[in-house]
Amino acid sequence: MGRRTMATEPEPQGPAGRRIGPPTQGGRRPGPRATGHTAGLTTVPTTLPAVQPLPTKGGDSTPEWLEPAMAANGIGSFDWDIRRDLIEADHRAATILGVAGPNLSLSSEAFLALLHPEDAPVVRRRVERAVAELGQCGAYYRTVFPGGALHAVRFRGRVLADAFGRPSRMVGFIWDATAELHKREDADRLAALREDRSRFIKEAARALSEAVTVRDVARVFAELPLPGLPPDGLVLAAFETGRLQVLGATGYPRETVANYDRMPLEPFQPAAEAIRNRLPIFLASRAEYQERYPEAWPKAAAAGRSAWAFLPLVASGRTIGLCVVSFDEARELDADERTLLSTLGGLVAQSLARARLHDAEHELAAGLQRVMLPRTVPSVPGVTTAVRYLPAGSGLQIGGDWYDVVPLPGGHVGLVIGDVQGHDVHAAGIMGQLRIALRAYAAEGHPPAAVMARASRFLADLDTDHFATCTYAEVNVDYGVVYAVRAGHLDPVVRRADGSSAVQSVVGGLPLGLSADQEYQVTRFSLDPGETVVLCTDGLVESRAMDLDTGMSRLCDSVAGDLPFADGDPIEALADRIANRAADSAEREDDIALLLLRWDGPEGGLAAQQLRRRIGQADLARVSELRGELRDALRRWGVAELIDTAELLASELVTNAIRHTDRDAMFTARLYREDGREPRLRIEVEDESDLWPKRRTPGEQASSGRGLMLVEALADSWGVEPRGSGKRMWFELTAGGEGN
């Protein structure tokens, strides 16, 4: 009977506000709150009192016309004399209560002792209320038979009043409700099972909707807990070109799955029939399988299953796969179970179709990206490069970001990093055209500014309504000089030899494609051996949740510091560290291109740290830039105490060269470090004039003529040397020397 109690019945009804007392005792009437003999319902005895047979008084009091109906339905009757606290019942009621004898007579305490301990208090409260209100009551309860068996019983009773309106008797019926209660329990169980199945369908739909790839769908399908019919085996297979490709399976040995993988479907197989007719096939036993598909049975028998469900996966009007659900024991699936499996097959079909489309798009994007980006980065003596590309992770996973490394005439190398507006196949196509054009301009030997101007004109002529940001840098491998041009792109980051990093400012211009006549300025900066230039696209340093300044600061932190131990080149470890931090970030929304170049020095190595620049005869502003580069170089080389003197004397030599000649001048600064001696700085300025400088003694009012006097006074040593066609002026400073 379970734990059901009288709560399943309506509360007894009676006259409102009426309070009934027990009968008078000893000629006195109790107070209005006295309950008389009904107090016996307040406790439940622990032992069952003896039952005395009732004396026969002319037979049962049940009317003759009602007796056949009660007998046919197994209904007994009872009569409870409230004043005497005596319950009398007929033989059917005694049988229902599990008491032997034709009739029974027992007190309320004895009656309560027959009930299950959990039900007795509920029955007591219902009866007491009915007595107090002169109403009726009823309930389900469990009775404990002498052997310990539990039976469900239901009763209905009404309280009758005497001539004075006081409760006198309760009469009613009692019948066995075990079968009725089992039906209710079965209905409750089925309702709970339907609720579980409904919840399962919702959870399965959610899990399958979150599955992105075919592998995800197979994993989710294999882990689904089917409510009410846990299967012993699950197989998910895709159907292509007449064959089944197993995507995922559980409950089967690996060799069994391998026997069916990529198996051609024969017409006599149940899987073939399910796919052909687009209808599920249910086989309840091994005998049914053998009878319906005798040719396929020998191979199926080896799997050891006894019941199967073959569910075709139909999406967009065509069958794309098959689900197989199997059981170890024979099982006849009911209508609800078949409906559940068919619904599951529909969900899996839609999810699998979406996942296959996603995988196809991903493969298309990956193939297109492989074509657009260089397959390999050329190796150039004197430099080491590393590249990374991270797709955005949504859509076709392709965009307009690209990188390139271009070997240039004269042993130089060109670095390109760029980003075409947009994140689709159109942007990727434009990126491919622009990459090829820019590579061609650079390979022809054009200077960086011309390369960028021609690329901008090329993109503008395509008339695509797209623009692109780009940074192009030409690296002089012999001297570590970088000539950089920036078109609306990010500044590069430089990792110094001591592990520090900083953003290298480069003069910017408009993005490519906005103006066909745009001109760009070149920024020169130098690298020491072992220093690295880092170029990237904005997906690495900018998102809706992260501004550009924060992103550049994080990039500098990633570039700086000690490099992790790696078996390969340290620059690869640095590239991995930057890329991994970007890949792990939840803020990333765009694809990322990353290009690193480390200057190792010219082949054969360098005798000293060096800064070398050419200064155009008409480029007077270049003298100011040169002073700044010289200051930065001396600070990096660790001889900052030489900066003021070297800057002053270098300015004098360079100004003298471009003022008194009509050709370009070549400036070279070298720092020599010799064992046991202080570092020595040598600065040379070469020109193609045969006119040698003359030392003069200017008057007080003269505006020139003091350059050589300053060189002679401040330098440790200086001189002029012929160079065939031209000359070389030089001076040297020693760190910690007297000339400083």
Same domain, 207 and 332: yes
Same domain, 49 and 67: yes
Tell me: the pLDDT tens digits for 36-89? 344 445 333 333 343 444 443 334 456 677 778 888 788 888 999 999 999 988
In a domain, 44, yes or no: yes
Tell me: the pLDDT tens digits for 272-323? 999 999 999 999 999 999 999 999 998 888 888 899 999 999 988 889 999 9
Burial class (CB in 10 A: 0-12, 13-18, 19+), 562: exposed
* End-of-domain residue from the set 571, 599, 627: 599
Same domain, 615 and 593: no
Strands (E), 263-382: 263-264, 281-283, 307-315, 318-327
Residue type, 292: R
Contact 508, 465 (CB under 8 A): no
Determine the Cα–Cα distance for residues 688 and 662; give it in Å rounded to an integer: 9
- Provide the CATH number for the domain around residue 620: 3.30.565.10
Contact 481, 669 (CB under 8 A): no
In a domain, 301, yes or no: yes
Query: Buried b vs exposed e over 498-535: b needs ≥16 C-beta within 10 Å?
Result: eeebeebebebbebbbeeeebebebbbbbbbbebbbbb
Q: What values do phi and psi take at 546, rounded to 5?
A: -145, 120
Same domain, 130 and 241: no
Determine the Cα–Cα distance for residues 74 and 304; give it in Å rounded to an integer: 50
Same domain, 456 and 549: yes
Determine the Cα–Cα distance for residues 678 and 259; give it in Å rounded to an integer: 79
**What pLDDT shows up at residue 308?**
92
Mean pLDDT value of segment 608-618: 74
In a domain, 188, yes or no: no
Tell me: the pLDDT tens digits for 413-437? 999 999 988 767 777 788 888 889 9
Same domain, 85 and 206: no
**What pLDDT shows up at residue 740?**
53
**What pLDDT shows up at residue 485?**
95
In a domain, 182, yes or no: no
Same domain, 474 and 577: yes
Residue with more model confidence, 283 or 481: 283
Same domain, 546 and 576: yes
Longest dimension (CA), the chain: 161
* End-of-domain residue from the set 335, 363, 391: 363
In a domain, 463, yes or no: yes
In a domain, 372, yes or no: no
- 631: three-class secondary structure by DSSP: helix
Report residue 564's pLDDT band, with 50, 70 and 90 as the boundaries. low
Angle, helix 621-637 to helix 643-659, in steps of 10 degrees = 150
Alpha-carbon distances, residue 621 vs 34, 628, 673, 688, 706 (angstroms): 117, 12, 32, 21, 22
Q: Which residue has the tokens 């130098």?
A: 526
**What pLDDT shows up at residue 45?**
37
* End-of-domain residue from the set 599, 626, 650: 599
Q: Which residue has the tokens 């075709």?
A: 312
Strand-by-strand arrangement of the 532-536 sheet: 383-390, 592-599, 532-536, 493-495, 501-503
Model-level pTM? 0.53
Alpha-carbon distances, residue 449 vs 392, 433, 630 (angstroms): 31, 20, 23
Same domain, 321 and 403: no
Residue 39's domain comprises 6-176
Same domain, 330 and 407: no
**What pLDDT shows up at residue 208?**
85
User: If you count them, how many residues does the chain have?
Assistant: 740
- Provide the CATH number for the domain around residue 101: 3.30.450.20
- Provide the CATH number for the domain around residue 199: 3.30.450.40
Domain tally, the chain: 4
Contact 480, 526 (CB under 8 A): yes
In a domain, 219, yes or no: yes
In a domain, 729, yes or no: yes
Same domain, 461 and 353: no
**What pLDDT shows up at residue 625?**
80
Q: List residues bridging with 77 in a β-sheet.
A: 173
Same domain, 199 and 99: no
